[in-house]
Each structure stands twice: as C-alpha cells, then as structure tokens.
Chains A and B, each alone.
Chain A
C-alpha cells in the first residue's frame, strides 16, 4: 500500500512538474504574454494529442518505436523517485541516491535513441546519432557537477545533502558547479540550446518527428517532467532543498524549483541553438575542463570553509 502511494505520488508529481514546465515555457515565449492562455494551453494541447491518431510509420521497427515513450516516461519517473519534497516526503532515499540519479538517465538516452532508430527515417537516424553524442557530451560534466555538493556534504544520500546546506547554500560558494549543472541539465533534457536531436525545423522533429497522438504526449510529458525533475535536483544540490522559513517544506521546494526553472528557461531564450559540433566543442573543450577545475576548487573550499570535516 505504501509502495502504491509512492508510485502514485511520484507519477502525480511528474505530471504536475511537466505541466508546470510547459506552462512556464508558454509564459516565457516571445510575444504577448497572457497568463490564462499559458496556463490553459498545455492542457488543451494534451487533450488534442490524446484525440489525435496514433500513427506508426511504414517499415518502422514497431517494438522500439512503440516502447520508446514508455521507457522515457518510466526513466523520468525513476529519476523523480529520489526527489525530496520534504524531510518525510521522499519516495526513495538510498545511500547512493545521487549516484542513482546520475546513472538513471542512461536508459533515458536509450529511449530517445530508440525513438529515432525505430521510426526508420533519415531524420530520426540523425537524431539518434545526435542523441548518442549528447550522452557522451553531457555525462561527464553532469557527474562532475554533482560531485561538488557530494564532496561538500560528504554523502551521496539526497536528504543528507539537503541537511548539510542548512547554513549556507552550495550555490553561494559553488557557482561554477551550479553553472555546470544547469548547462548539463539542458543537455540532458534536450532543452532549447541543445535540442538538436529534435531540431524542429532542421530535422523535421528529429527523434520525435514521426510520433503523434498519445505517444507524442507521453514523450513530451517525459521530456518536460524530466526537466522539472532535474531542476528540482538542482534545488536540492545547490539551493538548500526544502529548507526555508515560515512555509511548509514542500511549498519551499516547489517554489524554488519553479523559480530555478523559470530562470533557466528565460535565460536560454537569448542563446541560439547550438550546432552539433559547437555543442560537442562546448562539452569537451569547456565543460569538462571547467568540471575538473570545479572539483579542485570545491576540494580547496571545503577544506577552508568546512575545515575538512563536512
């Protein structure tokens, strides 16, 4: 019974997060901003997709094509499992929680690759290659960005990382780690500057090009929900998680996550979409050295600030 509640809670949280991200995206779109439209449009889009015909391309690899959205959504839900909304609102708090969080995205990339490969089209195939390159590009900086808070907190457990920030947010003295984390998170969730596997106008949708109807809805839910999950983990890692005065912990968590997501979505509006080579250059030539530098800096600062005893 308890497990069932956890599953339902995680799925509900994922759906709510996906809705929130989609609404934020609408709200931050260029043009006249109408709050009512932004709040309603994700719902109407979802309903229209539910009513749309679910098409399968000819000669598609049906098994991969049909399973990919489910795998993506499952992976997003598995990642959401370790997001704490409060000291007691935590689905799964293993001792290796952050490690689990980093590696659970591997199958997500596999789902995206399957989506591109299974549809048996050139655009999808190129999207698959780009998604695989994404994996190689983001994985190392993402892991190194997470290592900073882990070093400072001295634990891989999510709840202990939050508790360790009761005095000072890690965002204050690990700004480089925060920047690395946010850029890698955009990589990971195929968000705007790094959304070249989808690449709307260039690849005709890329890996999602042949999806329609409920399966497209599932994929969008997974992508938006995963962005919400990654932003929530950013709050956990760098902004003190659920901690805050006066308000209940869950409210703080939601508010911080929404603010961080809005800031990231707003900032990415001013960046053009990166080409594949630019993206890879950024990942390997900038992010990776910066991540190594960040680890060294955090080690030194942890010695200075915490005196070597986290």
Chain B
C-alpha cells in the first residue's frame, strides 16, 4: 500500500512537472509562464524528496524557484511598461523584420478569407477602400499597405459589401454560447472556440432588435440581459433604420462628453451625468463633410470632430486628411462620428467612443478591454519560445540518449528509491539541470530577441507616428506649408521645428477638408477655448460654457496663412 502511494505520488508529481512545463510554452502571459516553470521545478523537487534526495530538492527549490522569480521580475520589467508605452511598443515590434515575423496577432482569429465584415446600411463607395486586413476587416484603405493595428499586409477586398441587397441575403453565424459574436462566415467562436452556427433570424432582415437602454451598441434579436450591465434588453425598432432616425429625432448628449449620443434620455456612460437634448442639424453622413475629422495616428478607426486624445492609446488626435470621405455618405457605418446607425454584426458601432472597442474584433467593449488587458500581460513572443523549447527538448533527448542508462540493464535492488536517488546524484542531475538550463536559455533568448532594436525614450504622445498611419502628402510644392505631425495647428512656410514639441515639421499641402464644405458650415466654438470647434451647438467639453456660433474660417485662408499665424483648425 505504501509502495502504491509512493508510485502514485511519483506519477502525480511527474505529471505536474510535465504539465506545468508545457503550460510555460502555451501561455501568453510571461508572468504565468514564470509561475508554470516554478511549479514544474517544485514538482521536480518533490520527486527528489521521494527519491530520498531531499538536499537536492532544497537546492532545486532555492536555486530554480528563486532564480525563476528573479528572471520573471526582469522579464516583466523589460517587457512590460506600466507607464503605458507597451501596447504601442508591441505593435511596433510586430513590424520588425526578425522577431516581428514570428509575432502573434493578438485579436481572436477570424476566418482568413473573411472579406466583407457585414452589410453596411448606407451605400459605401465600392471602388474606394478596397484593401483590407485579413485580421481586421474594418480596416479599409485605398491601396496596399500594412494594417495599422497588426501590421499585416493588406489584401484586396473583392466583394466590398454589396450595399443594398446584402442585408437580406447574407447569412449571419453566431456562437450558441455567445450570441454577441456574429460573423458572416462559419468558424470557431473567438471566445470559447465552439463552432459558429447560422443565426436563425438576421436582425437586419426581420427588424425586431432588442437593445440595452444604457448600451445602445448592444443589439440582440431577442430579449435578454445586457452583457455589459445586466439590464433587460428592450425592443429598439426605432433606432434600427440607419439613416432616417437620427435626422429627425432628438439626440441626447452628455454636457461633458459630446461624443456620447443617444436617441433617448439617460445617463452618460462615461461620467453618469444626465444626458441633455441637442438638435440634430445634420444627417449622419454630413458631419464628415462639414468639419475636420480628427483621428488617432495609431487607431484610425477613432474619429472625432475635434481635437482630443485617443481613448485607446492617449495619443493626440490629428486631422485625418487623406482618407476623410469627401462629402457623400461613405463609411457612415463604422467611421462617422455621429451615426446612430448600428448595423448588426461585426461593425456594430454606434458612437465613436466605442467604435474601436467594438469595431475591430466584433467583441463587446468589455470583452475587448479584457483582451487588451491580456495583451498587456503577454509577450507576443510565443513562437520564439516554442522554437527554443523544441530545441531544448531535442537537446535533452540527445543528452538522455547519449548518456548510458543503467536502470534498463540492472536488476532493481530492494531499496530501489535509494538507488535511483544515488543514480540521480551521480549522473542524471546532468539531465535535470541541463533541462533547466535550456529552458532558462530559451526564456533569455525570447526576452533578448523580443527587445526592440531601438527603444524610444519618448512617451507615445510625443513620439513620431508610423509613416503609414498618417498619410502626409509628400508633394509639397513651392508654396508648401509645413506642419507638425503631432500638432497640426502649427503651420509654417518653411521647415523647422515645432515650437510645442520640437519635432521636425513636415510638408502639409492640403487643407484637411474640402473647401466647399467648410465655407458653408456654421462652426460653434467656446468663448474661452477657441480650439474647441463643433458643428453643433452644445457645451464646451473643457469648461462647460455654451458654444457660440462663429464665422467659419475659409480653409483657403488657413492654407495660405502667413508665417507665424498658425490658426487653429
């Protein structure tokens, strides 16, 4: 009986050691990887105790667990930057030619041939935005390039969501367990891995949509609790027609967060203040035409009609000059700031504050946030660890194979455990310690390979954005105006340095918006904060004062601004 217990313990400890070591290779969190290794070593120490080698067990725990803790600390300190540069840094690392080739794409995988995410209610321009990312179908560009989110090469999107006919015919696949997951192709659920099944009723076709009174981006085709706040969903038929409702109804907004727009009274999801009604002056497709759209250099899906900071990474928003839709209703689905239209499916985006959070993965903001937190704790170097781990296993196998193994030939004596312990002491420690050494070398290699080539000392808010994220016209003519990539209100007629951040000025030829659109618009500004410019009346998001109308500055005057007259755009 005692022998049985001893063998059961050996099997259990050995299983734990192997299971934990395997867990090191599959976890994405470096912290958990370190813990898994520690567990593995402690289980090995337990094996040593069972083999009457308790001193070895103690040394094993002291050396390897302590060393692993130090290693974990260094890994976390190297790779994780609690100051906030980390996410940005990870994205940049994915562009590196060496480790970047092995870097993981973090968001849940979609079917690689997913092309058109979901039908868009307003007619998009089929010719434009015909390149998309295989992983982020909401990324649409006019030409080839790299995805600003994951760095993958963009691929041509052949069928760009036939605008009118698709909603009735397209099949929507959903997860039996996570109805908020909606794909237009079968595949595994990104949350639980179950196979997606065809959704019985497409909400776009049947029309009865249930939404949360507090979270209008939650849209279900049946009643139930809101996955964000748990409130009962209510039928929201009125909000479903995309283009007409916002134009006719009263829109409620938050006095402090004008980007929050609801079609009913309620409370601001950001600060909890009561929403106040505002008159909707323009149809959803017009705001892009009347004002400058500001976007994040790293997150082009973030679109605001005023200066501010990206809700995802905190960078200052810059005018989206090149890819602003000129005047038509292009991109009203996911990209327009004030669109209340929320088509079901992956691009279900109501207000831009959550556009990035819901848009590019099809997850709810909550799930997206969890994913971001998970990313913040992960190394994105799993393939390196796998390669080095496989090499370690190979080397260990060779070691065991080359080393003679007398257990196979000798007859077990009466005190078998002592004999095994002595054998371990004499020879097989090479194997165990060799394995530990190789694993450590693998981790060190992963950390070293994972370090960026040149780590900037500047925080992301002042660091230069990647070139492909903010297309700046390079065709600066004779009367070229130079601007700061980070502070577009700085305009000079010659190269130099930004007086605000010291960056080199770059040529900025074109005004952000077409001239015809801006000359006719009434711009509302704050008496105290002239940089606040809205195309609706409302209150200043900084001081809360009522915005007052102001004569629109013709963009031509801005472009031809004399030197040192940097006007606010």
Contacts and interface: CB of A to CB of B under 8 A. Distances in A.
Interface of A: 59, 61, 64, 94-96, 99-100, 102-104, 106-107, 109-110, 113-114, 117, 120, 122, 125-126, 129, 132-133, 135-136, 139
A120 B373 CA distance: 9
A122 B77 CA distance: 14
24 contacts: A59-B373, A61-B377, A64-B35, A95-B54, A96-B54, A96-B55, A99-B62, A100-B58, A103-B58, A103-B61, A106-B61, A106-B62, A106-B66, A107-B42, A110-B38, A117-B31, A125-B82, A129-B73, A129-B77, A132-B70, A132-B72, A132-B73, A135-B66, A135-B70
Nearest to B34: A110
Interface in B423-460: none
Interface residues of B, number: 23
A126 B77 CA distance: 11
Interface in B42-86: 42, 54-55, 58, 61-62, 65-66, 69-70, 72-73, 76-77, 82
B506 to A, nearest CB: 36
Nearest to A60: B373
A104 B61 CA distance: 8
A12 B77 CA distance: 39
B54 to A, nearest CB: 6
A132 B61 CA distance: 16
B282 interface: no
B82 A122 contact: yes
Q: From DSSP, what is the main secondary structure of chain A's interface residues?
A: helix
B515 interface: no
B405 to A, nearest CB: 29
B369 interface: yes
Nearest to B65: A106
B370 interface: yes
A43 B55 CA distance: 40
A282 B376 CA distance: 33
B9 to A, nearest CB: 14
A150 to B, nearest CB: 14
Nearest to A125: B82
Contacts of B42: 107
Contacts of B76: 129
Contacts of B55: 95-96, 99
B360 to A, nearest CB: 19
With a 10 A CB-CB cut-off, give which of A120, A132, A136, A139 has the most chain B CB atoms. A132
A106 to B, nearest CB: 5
Contacts of B72: 132
Contacts, number: 57
A106 B69 contact: yes
Contact of B54 (A94, A129, A132): A94
A285 B508 CA distance: 57
Contacts of B62: 99, 102-103, 106
A59 B370 contact: yes
B374 to A, nearest CB: 9
B69 A109 contact: yes
A291 to B, nearest CB: 17
B69 A110 contact: yes
Given A109-B69, A110-B69, 20 more contacts: A59-B370, A59-B373, A64-B32, A95-B55, A99-B58, A99-B62, A100-B58, A102-B62, A103-B66, A104-B61, A106-B61, A106-B65, A106-B69, A110-B35, A110-B65, A129-B76, A132-B72, A132-B73, A133-B73, A135-B70
B370 A96 contact: no
B66 A139 contact: yes
A61 B38 CA distance: 18
Contacts of A113: 69
A59 B369 contact: yes
B54 A135 contact: no
**B38, B73, B82: residue with the most chain A Cβ atoms closer than 10 Å:** B73
A249 B31 CA distance: 45
Nearest to B77: A129
Nearest to B372: A59
A136 B58 contact: no
A143 to B, nearest CB: 9
B31 to A, nearest CB: 6
Contacts of A94: 54
B119 to A, nearest CB: 33
A203 B349 CA distance: 38
A96 B45 CA distance: 14
Contact of A107 (B65, B82, B377): B65
Contacts of A136: 70
Contacts of A102: 62
A135 B72 CA distance: 12
Contacts of A120: 373
Given A103-B58, A114-B35, A132 B82 contact: no
Contacts of B35: 64, 110, 114
Most buried by B among A59, A103, A117, A122: A103
A106 B62 CA distance: 7
A100 B35 CA distance: 20
A307 B58 CA distance: 31
Interface string B451-494: 00000000000000000000000000000000000000000000
Contacts of A104: 61
A95 B76 CA distance: 37
B371 to A, nearest CB: 10
A99 B61 CA distance: 11
Contacts of A64: 32, 35
A165 to B, nearest CB: 24
A30 B70 CA distance: 38
Nearest to A59: B373
Contacts of A135: 66, 69-70
A136 B73 CA distance: 10
A92 B272 CA distance: 59
A301 to B, nearest CB: 27
A77 to B, nearest CB: 16
A126 B61 CA distance: 26
A189 B32 CA distance: 24
A109 B62 CA distance: 13
A59 B372 CA distance: 10
A187 to B, nearest CB: 15
Contacts of B369: 59
Interface string B11-52: 000000000000000000001100100100010000000000
B159 to A, nearest CB: 38
A156 B38 CA distance: 25
A104 B45 CA distance: 12
